[in-house]
Chain A
Amino acid sequence: MRAGLEGEKDERLAALAAGGDRDAFDALVTRHRQAVYRLCWSAAGNAADADDAAQETFVRVYRSLPSYDPARPFGPWLRKIAWNCGLSVRRDGNAGVPRVAEGDAPEAIDPAPGPEEEAVGNEERRRVAGAMAGLPAELRMVMVLRAVEGLSYEEIARAAGIPAGTVMSRLSRARTRLLAALGEGSGGGS
């Protein structure tokens, strides 16, 4: 990445990229690719489609940059595109068939767990990942945006195009189901 771009705001990078600055676009991709991938995964429910959708998201972003208004926040715009791409991939190829590879533990959320905690944490993460794949996409989405990305209800509402109250009720339903999956595996919870 070209020096000096790291500190630039998304909207500025988008404007530079729209003017043909490939480094600026590259910086945008690097900055957002993991969050985009996670959102696509939450829509698609499996890694292969998440990859396809994440790639497609940035292709669409690139194509749409000339019409992007830098006065609008970049994040919600990007998330909306990513979510649509994730759903499109699922519809086109693997509707309703989420897959999670065996032993595929999601990345650690705890910053520095000890070895024992890590083993328990990995087991729980695996179990929750399995349960996540079985959730309806709209529940997975709010869960990923809240628990993984740390977005506010308002931000999630904007990304999902739903009222903030619905965000809360979906989160509540998602957590109840995930908790049940944890409980089943550990013989009744913590």
Chain B
Amino acid sequence: MDCRETQPLLTAFHDGELPAAERVRVEEHLRGCPECAALLADLARVDRATGVPDPGPAYWDRFNARVMDRVEREADGPRVAVLRPKGGWMRQQLRYLVPAAAAAALVVVIVHYGGMRPGALTPPVQPAVSERTAPVPGSEWTAKAESAAAARPVPPSAPAKERVATVTREKQDRLADGQGWPSAGAGRDATGSVAPAAGSPPVTAADGMTQGNQAERKKVERAAVPMAEQQGAGKATSAPGMRVAKEPSPGSPCELARALAERERFREAEDAQRACLAQDRSAPAQEKGLVFLAELLDRQARFAEADAVITEVDRQFPQSRPLDLYRQQRPMVQKRKE
């Protein structure tokens, strides 16, 4: 064995991880080669110098009590995201708890301002066509107004009531186009992102957990965002109640996945998300990205594949918080697709 063969084996030799036969051969070489012996000594030197700054005895004296304090604080209330998640823990918690309340609040708002029957919230198939072709009484917004809506947003100075009425009309138009609103963004804005997808039972005001007042609506807008946002993708919203879905613009696959999911183009979003996962291999990106992928699969009713992804997240990231959060939301997602 010469130096060229020996040197790649020195790390494993130093760590005692070399099979016995190779070990003997390396030892033989080292006896006659000062250069390789010096390299080996350097490895030992680096290891000796490697350490982690110790915080000291006073730190350790308080450590256990601090853990228990934290455990007890969490036991007293909702599970607190101690790790300072982006957007604050309240937003994190509300993300999955509020959609039901948000849906009810939306219905109240729509019924009150938009003059719709609750039942009409279920994405229509035939009736929508007539809605699309007929101008909506009392409004200049029509089915073709989607692009116009972008060009002519309601001025910020418009009264809140008017804005809500306007976006409600937008929602009607969108439903008429058979698009519905992105369920991935359930609760994000009251314009319809909380509207049930096809097949889900209509939500009625009687189901409401809260009143559809403006304050509640704004709270919901702030609180509930889709899983995709956990990936830190770019913003896609404008002012509350003013959101108009745009054609996803080219950007990173992660941003594209999010934008497509918001348009309920889950199959394409899935492809983009897979590309996103391949691009960013860091553990946090993988953890959150895989959870989002599972959600995209669930939204396509590919539950078995979603299960496999979730199992993989479990394996790689035990006690994953993003997965925990998604598990709370998952029954709702699946129910929509059943």
Chain A interface residues toward B at CB < 8 A: 22, 26, 29-30, 33-34, 37-38, 41-42, 47, 50-56, 58-60, 62-64, 77, 80-81, 83-85, 87-89, 91-93, 100-101, 104-110, 121, 124-125, 127-129, 132, 143-144, 146-148, 152-153, 161, 164, 168, 171-172, 175, 178-179, 182, 189-190
Contact = CB atoms under 8 A, between A and B. Distances in A.
Contacts of A41: 52-53
Given A52-B83, A55-B63, A146-B47, 10 more contacts: A107-B53, A124-B45, A125-B50, A128-B46, A129-B52, A132-B50, A148-B50, A153-B17, A161-B316, A164-B17
Contacts of B12: 153, 168
B10 to A, nearest CB: 8
6 A-B pairs with the lowest CB-CB distances in the bound complex, closest first? A106-B51, A107-B54, A124-B49, A128-B49, A147-B50, A147-B47
B231 to A, nearest CB: 11
B207 interface: no
B120 interface: no
B283 A29 contact: no
A85 B81 CA distance: 11
A182 to B, nearest CB: 7
A66 B110 CA distance: 45
B55 A59 contact: no
A161 to B, nearest CB: 5
Interface in B46-74: 46-55, 59-60, 63-64, 66-68, 70-71, 74
Nearest to B59: A51
Contact of A92 (B60, B86, B287, B317): B86
A60 B83 CA distance: 11
Contact of A26 (B64, B84, B85, B316): B64
A190 B41 contact: yes
B88 to A, nearest CB: 11
B249 interface: no
Contacts, number: 160
Given A88-B83, A190-B45, A129 B284 contact: no
B332 interface: no
B52 A92 contact: no
A11 to B, nearest CB: 16
B82 interface: yes
Interface of B is mostly: helix
Contact of B50 (A52, A87, A128): A128
Nearest to B86: A92
A47 B66 contact: no
A107 B52 contact: yes
B287 A107 contact: no
The interface centre, meaning the residue of B41, B84, B283, B316 with most chain A CB atoms within 10 A of its CB, is: B283
A89 B83 contact: yes
B283 A59 contact: no
A33 B60 contact: yes
B70 to A, nearest CB: 5
Given A29-B64, A84-B317, A168 B17 contact: yes
Contacts of B162: none
B211 interface: no
B51 A108 contact: yes
A177 to B, nearest CB: 9
Contacts of A129: 51-53
The interface centre, meaning the residue of B48, B52, B83, B282 with most chain A CB atoms within 10 A of its CB, is: B52
14 contacts: A22-B68, A41-B53, A52-B83, A55-B67, A56-B70, A56-B83, A64-B318, A84-B287, A84-B318, A106-B50, A128-B49, A144-B52, A172-B11, A182-B49
Contacts of A182: 45-46, 49
